[in-house]
């Protein structure tokens, strides 16, 4: 008996293949989509957990300001909470290769025996020997395995203090479990951005103490790291470790204090020596100074003596010159006298002959003598002359009286005079010569003394220089000593500060933001997963219900027959339930298999653009599977059960008679006769039919609406994400480039940057702004991080950043009254215009405007507001906003300014969205999934419902065929209803889609991003058109079914 | 030449290995304006004849001439046009569209027909002037069959084909329906073909075509057909 029923069930499966397959397909799509999307989040978490477990990501990472030594490690081991502890080194260094510029790299030590934080090797192998390096896969494509890379320190420290060598051979590349996302963190060297990590053997490090300690908890082994159990373990062990850390820090404190004091004492002793030396030097210096002073006095005296001697010599020279003149005069006088004497002699000789004549000659001679200048020669000569003068007179008188004898006497007297004069002259000559000699000697002596003095002076100058140098040295030495003292004091203070404040940092995994973000993203996928698939399974369930109900209704005669034959209700019901289960269970499992294996990997692939998780595990999740299949079975089974039960209430006789067809009814529209009258006949029929089968109408509308809503959500989501880049960097940020400046540079350095820029001629406008990260909070909210932007000139800001309200697009002006904040941060803070916000947990400012903003959270205020707000730092512009005349010349601008040390970075608006483009490309895959799923949904729902529609009305359709309706007309007769339903569903779907899209966006949005909330018209159009396309596709397939309807059906009795 | 003529018409169905001839060389004629009854037991092949005559099915062999045209050679489209313009069909189970009122059911036919009669007029002719706006469910079986007849007549067909028009009706109602058909034939000169298994109604026909084992076993011409009222069964 049972077998017959089973056979019958199998037969009916065979006979109603299309219905059976439809149910299976709907169940498969529903289950597959639900399970696939729903398991994506957990699968991603599971994969991450598996990967992290395999790579042995440490549960705790401990760093100490004082470093860690072996004693610390063994003390930590002694806690007994760990199954492994690895203490190692890390350092930020610069790494460069043959074909690669230097990049900042975080260098870690690697110990092959340790199971903690093992990298996942994607290429090559791990380092084994000294000189081998293993690189971050994302660091560079230009560095190949086998290449040699060079490392150096970035801050001028000695490389040998960190590692033993500077050249390494690349042996492999991979992914590190420590870095979950592609963010590699920041550092204090270079431009501050770490590009990647690298591993070298532990032994290559030359650090004296460990920098890091990693702990793997024994308790956490095999515990899902995303579970609350893990959280409990971590929080419990955090307490243990923190308490331990506070205690253990004392160990290093002690060691360091001892070492430091040793050093300080050495320094102090050195200082003491220095002081002594200084005192000696100072004494020497004083002595030297005194000597110099003495010497200077001596020189002064010498100089005076020389001056006196020189004056004397000058006098002597003058006298000598006078003497010479006199002497020469004397010589000349002597000659003249001799001539006179000679002439007089001649006179005497001629005297006898001519006295008169002689008298004349004598006169002449006298005249001549008168004219001669004998007086100046000397006294002797004077006397001579006076004597001589008397001669003529005597002669005059004597001519008469004087004899020749007298004259001769006179001449001899003159001759005597001459010899006297000669003697005098000779002695004068001798005297003069002596004097000359003396002068020459004196001069020579003076010359000598002068030389001596200048030498002495030079010596003194040298000595002074020496002393000056010495003094400087002494001052320097004093400064040094003072510095040394200060240093020692500082060192002591620092030591105390450092040591007193020094502590261990105990980081758990959540400290790594990308680690927790991954979990959040998984949860986000899960959240989206909750919306879509439930929707799917709902539709699937509804469709299955109608289908099953319809089937049971169709077979009422069979039910009646079976009942009349005496089959129990249970047997009859179980037959239909069996049919339902036969479709649902395989359908469900087929869907699950496809869903589990396709959707999580697809969604995972999207997220791989943001996280370095090398693989995904897709287990068959029995909990979801059973849940899904059970739900599906419930939907189909229960509807089969209820439908057949309902039928079974009737007595067999009734059942075997055809069920009276559903009565025609007037519809509401007919009451509005002025519309109804104007409608075409066919339209009227369509309307009637629409409202005749309300359940089907409802189902179809829901199905189509779901499809449209999903599509709209997909497209809307795509727009919401892709458009923000253009909006942010087009509508809001009007600047073409932003240049980060070193804010420690002075104004001149800033001016040199603008100068460099202006010289290119491609910068049309520029403005300095200050940008810094602030914490912002409101009365009601937590604090959020935001960028504070203060323009140099608030009036010019609008040229660079267009602050406006999103909906009205009304511009917002920055004033001194308060701040303008971005829309997203306003929403997060729950503030509106007029409310107060707090900066860095202290300074309340009024919100004067809320501006459209998409990426990151920006807050704008004027310099005056900034000054009033009481920030710790004073205002100093650190960015330069640039507008360019030609944005295609970015390279030109870059090359013009990048060499300037003040320029830290240049970023262009045209490239501003690069970060988001990754995100976008990853999401487009999800959107494809949505579209395909929506299409499948639309197709299955429409096809199934239309199928039911046709089956139910097959007699009617056969009749109108007999009446002579062409194929097209028959199709139109059915299609009109489908079209109207499709339109209704599409419209409803667009409405539903707006809501769904908003919901999904709200779920998917992160704090620092606001997605576009409006959905552009083309998204509506796309969603609607695609839905209509799906509907069209269904109707085309239906057309062939309609063509096949046999007119003879119309002749048969009603079943 | 007769108005309707079946000449050696064969229709065979293949049931796996066996070929069953539903029409095995059917020959008969019906003149214009005649009231013809095709009578036979269940499974004799009446319906196959009706299907072929009504343009709902094709024959495998032979000629089916209606008003001089060979229906058997019609394409699918021509066949549809033939059903649309030339044939009025009255079904055993009325086959009214439940969701349409009586008038609308008639209009369903007039909508597609070029020289259709006004729907209300036809309904009045079949005696349903008062029930124009009723849905089938609100009508009795006889009334429903009248709507069905009205729907067929509204097209002014060349042939009125009726498949067991009284099969689902009680005796008296069946009679009135037959009367309506007979009157239509007489008054409008309409060629009416009634298919039935009921031998009793043959006296009212002008021509009786008996079908047995997929063949026409006998064609009887009735010179004095009686009125339905006088027939009892």
B53 assigned to some structural domain: yes
pLDDT at B210: 92
Judged by CB atoms closer than 8 Å, whether chains meet at B109 and A963 is answered as: yes
* pLDDT exceeds 70 at position A567: yes
CB atoms inside a 10 Å sphere around CB A759: 11
pLDDT at A377: 45
- Residue A840's contacts (CB-CB under 8 Å, 6 or more residues apart) are A774, A775, A871, A872
Does the CB of A917 have a partner CB in chain B at under 8 Å?
no
Q: What is the rounded CA–CA span in Å between residue A299 and residue A918?
A: 89
Does the CB of A669 have a partner CB in chain B at under 8 Å?
no
* pLDDT exceeds 70 at position A657: no
Which chain B residues have a beta carbon less than 8 Å from that of A686? none
Nearest residue of chain A to residue B48 (CA atoms):
A1048
Of the partner residues B93, B98, B163, the one whose CB lies closest to the CB of residue A662 = B98
Give the gap in angstroms from C-alpha B49 to the nearest C-alpha of chain A: 12
Q: Which of residues 680-699 of A touch B (CB under 8 A)?
A: 681-682, 684-685, 688-689, 692
Of the partner residues A682, A1048, A1053, the one whose CB lies closest to the CB of residue B51 = A1048
Q: What is the rounded CA–CA span in Å between residue A79 and residue A210?
A: 19
* HEC per residue, A652-716: HHHHHCCCCCCCCCCCHHHHCHHHHCCCCHHHHHHHHHHHHCHHHHHHHHHHHHHHHHHHHHHHH
What domain range includes position B52? 4-224
Query: How many residues are listed for chain B in this entry?
Result: 233
Give the gap in angstroms from C-alpha A948 to the nearest C-alpha of chain B: 17
B11 assigned to some structural domain: yes
Closest Cα to residue A981, out of A787, A705, A749? A705
CATH value at residue B218? 3.40.50.300
Q: What is the rounded CA–CA span in Å between residue A891 and residue A202?
A: 42
B31 assigned to some structural domain: yes
Judged by CB atoms closer than 8 Å, whether chains meet at B112 and A1054 is answered as: no
pLDDT at A999: 83
Q: Which of A1051, A1052, A1054, A1055 to mutate against chain B (most B CBs within 10 Å)?
A: A1051
Give the gap in angstroms from C-alpha B117 to the nearest C-alpha of chain A: 15
pLDDT at A990: 92
Q: What is the rounded CA–CA span in Å between residue A692 and residue A677?
A: 20
pLDDT at B36: 92
Q: What is the rounded CA–CA span in Å between residue A701 and residue A730?
A: 40
pLDDT at A401: 45
What's the rounded mean pLDDT across residues A510-535? 72
- pLDDT above 70 covers a percentage of chain A that reads 87
Place of tokens 């004093």: A478
B87 assigned to some structural domain: yes
| pLDDT, tens digit only, all 233 positions of chain B | 788 999 999 998 888 788 888 888 899 999 999 999 999 888 888 888 888 898 888 888 899 999 889 988 888 889 888 988 888 888 888 888 888 888 888 888 888 887 788 888 889 888 888 888 888 888 888 899 889 989 988 888 889 999 888 887 888 888 888 888 888 888 888 899 999 888 888 888 999 999 988 889 889 998 888 888 888 77
What's the rounded mean pLDDT across residues A519-537? 71
- pLDDT above 90 covers a percentage of chain A that reads 3
pLDDT at A376: 45
* Residue A570 vs residue A898, higher pLDDT: A570
Q: What is the rounded CA–CA span in Å between residue A519 and residue A249?
A: 33
pLDDT at A658: 61
Task: Answer positive or negative: Cα dihedral of A501, A506, A510, A512.
Answer: positive
Nearest residue of chain B to residue A686 (CA atoms):
B99
SS3 A515: helix
Write the pLDDT tens digit of every residue in A599-643. 888 878 777 767 788 888 888 888 888 888 888 888 888 888 887
* pLDDT exceeds 90 at position A45: no
The answer to which of A277-281, A364-368, A973-977, B218-222 has the lowest mean pLDDT is: A364-368
Judged by CB atoms closer than 8 Å, whether chains meet at A956 and B97 is answered as: yes
Entry pTM: 0.65
Which chain A residues have a beta carbon less than 8 Å from that of B85? 964
* Residue B8 vs residue A515, higher pLDDT: B8
- Residue A403's contacts (CB-CB under 8 Å, 6 or more residues apart) are none
- Report the b/e string of A31-50 with b at 16+ CB within 10 A: bbbbbbbbbbbbbbbbbbbe
Closest Cα to residue A989, out of A753, A667, A704? A704
Instruction: Give residue A867's pLDDT band: very low, low, confident or very high (50, 70, 90).
Output: confident
What's the rounded mean pLDDT across residues A125-134? 89
* pLDDT exceeds 80 at position A1042: yes
Which chain A residues have a beta carbon less than 8 Å from that of B77? 966
The answer to which of A82-91, A139-148, B117-126 has the lowest mean pLDDT is: A139-148
B232 assigned to some structural domain: no
Domain total in chain B: 1
Q: What is the rounded CA–CA span in Å between residue A3 and residue A578?
A: 12
B217 assigned to some structural domain: yes
Judged by CB atoms closer than 8 Å, whether chains meet at B137 and A660 is answered as: yes
Of the partner residues B82, B85, B100, the one whose CB lies closest to the CB of residue A685 = B100
Which chain B residues have a beta carbon less than 8 Å from that of A973? none
Nearest residue of chain B to residue A973 (CA atoms):
B108
Closest Cα to residue A1013, out of A787, A824, A732, A810? A824
Which chain A residues have a beta carbon less than 8 Å from that of B97? 664, 685, 956, 959-960
pLDDT at A659: 61
> β-strands A763-777, A879-884: how paired?
antiparallel
B233 assigned to some structural domain: no
pLDDT at A913: 57
Q: Cα dist. A37→A51, A515, A613, A719 in Å?
A: 21, 22, 19, 22
Instruction: Give residue A878's pLDDT band: very low, low, confident or very high (50, 70, 90).
Output: confident
- Report the b/e string of A833-867 with b at 16+ CB within 10 A: eebebbbbeebebebbbbbbbbbbbbbbbbbebbe
- Residue A809's contacts (CB-CB under 8 Å, 6 or more residues apart) are none
What's the rounded mean pLDDT across residues A280-290? 87
Q: Which residues of B touch A (CB under 8 A)?
A: 47, 50-51, 54, 56-57, 77, 80-85, 87, 89, 91-93, 95, 97-101, 104, 107-109, 111-113, 135-138, 151, 155, 163
Write the pLDDT tens digit of every residue in A444-471. 888 888 888 888 888 888 888 888 888 8
Place of tokens 């105390």: A496
pLDDT at A684: 80
B230 assigned to some structural domain: no
pLDDT at A171: 92
Which pair of tokens denotes residue B60?
A: 């495998």
Instruction: Give residue A374's pLDDT band: very low, low, confident or very high (50, 70, 90).
Output: very low
* pLDDT exceeds 50 at position A375: no
């Amino acid at each position: 008996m049972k077998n017959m029923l089973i056979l019958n069930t199998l037969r009916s499966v065979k006979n109603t293949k299309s219905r059976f397959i439809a149910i299976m397909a709907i169940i498969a799509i529903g289950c597959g989509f639900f399970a696939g999307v729903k398991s994506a989040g957990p699968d991603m978490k599971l994969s991450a957990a598996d990967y992290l477990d395999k790579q042995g990501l440490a549960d705790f990472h401990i760093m100490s300001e004082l470093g860690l030594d072996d004693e610390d490690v063994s003390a930590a081991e002694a806690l007994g909470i760990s199954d492994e502890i690895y203490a190692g080194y890390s350092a930020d260094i610069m790494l460069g290769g043959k074909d690669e510029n230097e990049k900042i790299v975080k260098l870690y030590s690697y110990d092959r025996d340790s199971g903690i934080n093992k990298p996942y090797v994607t290429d090559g192998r791990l380092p084994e020997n000294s000189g081998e390096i293993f690189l971050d896969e994302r660091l560079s494509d230009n560095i190949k395995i086998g290449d040699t890379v060079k490392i150096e320190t970035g801050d001028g420290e000695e490389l040998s203090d960190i590692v033993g060598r500077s050249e390494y051979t690349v042996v492999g590349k991979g992914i590190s479990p420590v870095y979950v996302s592609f963010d590699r963190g920041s550092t204090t060297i270079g431009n501050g951005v770490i590009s990647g990590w690298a591993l070298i053997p532990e032994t290559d490090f030359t650090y004296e103490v460990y920098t890091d300690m990693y702990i793997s908890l024994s308790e956490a082994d095999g515990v899902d790291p995303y579970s609350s159990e893990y959280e409990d373990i971590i929080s419990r062990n955090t307490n243990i470790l923190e308490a331990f850390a506070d205690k253990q820090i004392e160990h290093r404190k002690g060691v360091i204090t001892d070492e430091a004091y040793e050093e300080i004492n050495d320094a102090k002793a050195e200082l003491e020596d220095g002081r002594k030396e200084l005192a000696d030097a100072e004494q020497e210096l004083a002595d030297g100074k005194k000597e110099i002073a003495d010497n200077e006095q001596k020189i002064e005296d010498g100089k005076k003596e020389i001056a006196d001697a020189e004056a004397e010599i000058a006098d002597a020279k003058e006298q000598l010159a006078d003497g010479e003149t006199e002497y020469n005069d004397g010589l000349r006088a002597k000659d003249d006298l001799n001539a006179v004497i000679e002439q007089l002699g001649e006179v005497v000789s001629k005297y006898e002959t001519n006295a008169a004549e002689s008298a004349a000659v004598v006169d002449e001679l006298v005249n001549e003598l008168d004219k001669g200048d004998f007086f100046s020669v000397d006294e002797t000569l004077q006397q001579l002359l006076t004597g001589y003068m008397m001669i003529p007179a005597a002669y005059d008188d004597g001519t008469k009286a004087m004899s020749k004898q007298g004259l001769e006497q006179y001449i001899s007297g003159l001759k005597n005079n001459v010899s006297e004069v000669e003697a005098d002259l000779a002695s004068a000559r001798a005297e003069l010569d002596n004097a000359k000699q003396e002068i020459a000697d004196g001069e020579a002596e003076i010359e000598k003394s002068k030389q001596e003095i200048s030498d002495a002076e030079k010596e003194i100058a040298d000595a002074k220089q020496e002393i000056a140098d010495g003094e400087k040295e002494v001052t320097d030495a004093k400064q040094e000593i003072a510095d040394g003292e200060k240093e020692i004091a500082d060192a002591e203070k620092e030591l105390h500060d450092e040591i007193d404040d020094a502590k261990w940092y105990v980081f758990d995994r959540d400290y790594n933001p990308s680690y927790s973000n991954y979990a959040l993203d998984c949860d986000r996928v899960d959240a989206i997963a909750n919306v879509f698939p439930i929707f799917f399974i709902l539709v699937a369930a509804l469709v299955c219900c109608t289908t099953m109900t319809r089937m049971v209704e169709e077979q009422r005669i069979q039910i009646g027959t079976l009942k009349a034959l005496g089959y129990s209700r249970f047997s009859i019901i179980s037959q239909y339930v069996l049919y339902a289960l036969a479709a649902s269970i395989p359908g469900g499992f087929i869907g699950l298999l496809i869903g589990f294996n396709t959707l999580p990997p697809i969604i995972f692939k999207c997220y791989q653009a943001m996280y370095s998780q090398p693989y995904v595990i897709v287990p068959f999740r029995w909990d979801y599977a059973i849940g899904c299949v059970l739900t599906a079975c419930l939907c189909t089974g229960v509807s089969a059960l209820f439908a057949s039960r309902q039928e079974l209430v009737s007595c067999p006789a009734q059942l075997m008679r055809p069920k009276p067809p559903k009565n025609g009814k007037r519809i509401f529209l007919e009451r509005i006769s002025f519309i109804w009258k104007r409608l075409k006949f066919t339209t009227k029929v369509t309307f009637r039919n629409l409202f005749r089968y309300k359940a089907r109408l409802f189902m179809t509308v829901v199905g189509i609406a779901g499809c449209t809503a999903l599509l709209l959500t997909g497209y809307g989501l795509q727009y919401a994400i892709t458009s923000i880049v253009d909006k942010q960097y087009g509508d809001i940020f009007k600047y073409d480039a932003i240049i980060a400046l070193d804010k420690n540079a002075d104004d001149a350095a800033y001016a040199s940057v603008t100068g460099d820029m202006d010289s290119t001629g491609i910068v049309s406008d520029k403005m300095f702004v200050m940008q810094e990260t602030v914490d912002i909070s409101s009365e009601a909210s937590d604090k959020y991080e935001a960028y504070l932007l203060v323009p140099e000139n608030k009036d010019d800001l609008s040229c660079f950043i267009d602050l406006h309200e999103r909906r009205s697009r009304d511009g917002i002006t920055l004033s001194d009254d308060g701040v303008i904040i971005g829309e997203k941060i306003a929403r997060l803070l729950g503030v509106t215009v007029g409310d107060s916000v707090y900066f860095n947990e202290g300074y309340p400012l009024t919100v004067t405007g809320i501006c459209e903003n998409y990426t990151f959270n920006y807050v704008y205020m004027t310099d005056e507001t900034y000054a009033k707000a009481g920030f710790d730092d004073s205002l100093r512009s650190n960015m330069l906003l640039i507008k360019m005349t030609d944005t295609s010349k970015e390279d030109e601008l870059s090359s013009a300014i990048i060499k300037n040390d003040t320029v830290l970075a240049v970023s262009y608006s045209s490239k501003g969205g690069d970060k988001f483009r990754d995100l976008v490309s990853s999401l487009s895959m999800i959107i494809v999934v949505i579209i395909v799923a929506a299409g499948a949904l639309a197709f299955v729902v429409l096809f199934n419902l239309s199928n039911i529609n046709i089956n139910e009305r097959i007699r009617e359709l056969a009749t109108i065929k007999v009446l002579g309706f062409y194929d097209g007309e028959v199709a139109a007769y059915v299609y009109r209803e489908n079209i109207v339903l499709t339109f209704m569903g599409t419209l409803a779907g667009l409405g539903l889609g707006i809501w769904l899209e908003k919901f999904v966006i709200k779920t998917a949005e992160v704090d620092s991003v606001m997605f576009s909330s409006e959905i552009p018209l083309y998204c509506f159009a796309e969603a609607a058109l695609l839905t209509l396309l799906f509907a069209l596709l269904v109707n085309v397939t239906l057309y062939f079914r309609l063509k096949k309807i046999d007119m003879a059906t119309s002749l048969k009795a009603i079943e | 030449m007769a108005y309707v003529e079946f000449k050696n018409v064969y229709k065979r169905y293949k049931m796996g290995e066996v070929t069953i001839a539903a029409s095995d060389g059917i020959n008969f004629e019906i003149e214009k304006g005649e009231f013809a009854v095709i009578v036979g037991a269940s499974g004799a092949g009446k319906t196959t004849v009706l299907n072929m005559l009504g343009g709902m099915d094709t024959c495998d062999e032979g000629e089916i001439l209606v008003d001089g045209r060979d229906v058997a050679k019609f394409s699918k489209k021509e066949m549809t046009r033939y059903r649309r313009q030339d044939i009025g069909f009255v079904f055993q189970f009325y086959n009214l569209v439940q969701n349409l009122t009586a008038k609308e059911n008639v209009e369903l036919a007039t909508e597609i027909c070029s020289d259709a009669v006004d729907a209300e007029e036809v309904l009045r002719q079949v005696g349903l002037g008062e029930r124009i706006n009723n849905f089938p469910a609100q009508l009795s079986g006889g009334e429903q069959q009248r709507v069905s007849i009205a729907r067929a007549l509204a097209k002014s067909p060349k042939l009125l084909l009726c498949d067991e028009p009284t099969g689902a009706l009680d005796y008296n109602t069946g009679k009135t329906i037959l009367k309506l058909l007979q009157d239509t034939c007489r008054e409008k000169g309409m060629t009416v073909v009634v298919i039935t298994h009921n031998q009793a109604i043959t006296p009212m026909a002008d021509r009786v075509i008996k079908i047995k084992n997929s063949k026409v076993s006998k064609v009887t011409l009735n010179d004095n057909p009686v009125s339905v009222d006088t027939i009892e069964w």
